Chain A
Amino acid sequence: MTTDIGPGTAPLVPSFDTPATGRKLAIICSKGSLDMAYPGLILANAALGEGVEVHLFFTFWGFDIINRKHMADLKFTPLGNPATHMPQGLGGLPGMTAMATHQMRKAIADLDVPDVPDFLEQITGSGGHLWACRMSADMQHLTEDDLYDGVEAIISASDFIEMTEGAQLLFI
């Protein structure tokens, strides 16, 4: 069925800028495996594309995502993960983690989704904010020099909570 919206009525245009809700999203990334790094990065990127203010807080194992030494080398293991639908005994065989990691990286790259360092660059380029957890930095004896350039600062958990007042929150 065709409805004609003729002259004299306002043209139908997608509402890109309204409503200006001031929506904010806080994402806490606490895991450092390849498969657990991506959900936070993908959701952050999607929210930025919708004009949402996004803050990511990297803590505990999630610190590996912004640790220069490990960020390009995150791993995936089928061990202890029943969702791979493989016999659990296989997961512990030598080389299995390397093979599973390789396959997951390839599947991600085939979709034209960036690797972790490129993804962080895309997120900061889109206006996203990256924050590192003070306690995790102290536990691992790391300073800002050890972290990805786009990380704005090492801050305490209370700083992050204060800064994300009113935000929707995801813990991953």
Chain B
Amino acid sequence: MSTTTIGGHTLTVDDEGFLTDPTEWSEEVAAALAEQIGVTLESEHWAILGFLRAEHARTGETPTLRRVSTGMQIPVKRLFELFPVKPAKKMAYVAGLPKPRGCV
């Protein structure tokens, strides 16, 4: 466990850089994390982040891409456009959550 400073926020992260304490997350932190990975947050991104955090709080698990797609009625293709190349991991990162554990 280590800390890193992003956008003036000191954050507790794992070896890869994912936040390990969901309470350190805020909208300002999300914007700073998104900037690090080249994503500009618009309303669709924010809705997805809200869904991820709510599901994680409810179930203790980060939702998979499939879960986000079915739960929010957003086509997977759109998720790849919003968070390019590795959408499941990128959205988890910006939402301040661990990588999803599920296979699908």
Q: Name A residues whose Cβ lies closer than 8 Å to a Cβ of B.
A: 1-7, 11-14, 16-17, 42, 45-46, 49-51, 111-114, 122, 125-127
Contacts and interface: CB of A to CB of B under 8 A. Distances in A.
Contact of B2 (A2, A51, A127): A2
Given A11-B4, A13-B37, A112 B104 contact: yes
B29 to A, nearest CB: 12
11 contacts: A4-B3, A11-B5, A12-B4, A13-B17, A13-B33, A14-B17, A16-B85, A16-B89, A112-B70, A122-B69, A126-B76
Q: How large is the interface on B (under 10, 10 to 19, 20 to 34, 35 or more residues)?
A: 20 to 34
A111 to B, nearest CB: 7
A14 B67 CA distance: 22
Nearest to B80: A126
Interface in B42-101: 64-67, 69-70, 75-77, 80, 85-90, 93
A5 B2 CA distance: 7
B17 A112 contact: no
A125 B36 contact: no
Contacts of A14: 16-18, 37, 89, 93
Contacts of B37: 13-14, 16-17
B90 A16 contact: yes
A21 to B, nearest CB: 12
B13 interface: yes
Contact of A7 (B5, B33, B36, B93): B5
B85 A17 contact: yes
A7 B2 CA distance: 14
B17 A127 contact: no
Contacts of B33: 13
B104 A42 contact: yes
Given A14-B16, A14-B18, A112-B64, 16 more contacts: A2-B2, A5-B2, A5-B4, A11-B5, A11-B17, A12-B13, A13-B6, A16-B37, A17-B85, A42-B104, A46-B104, A49-B65, A49-B87, A49-B88, A122-B69, A127-B77
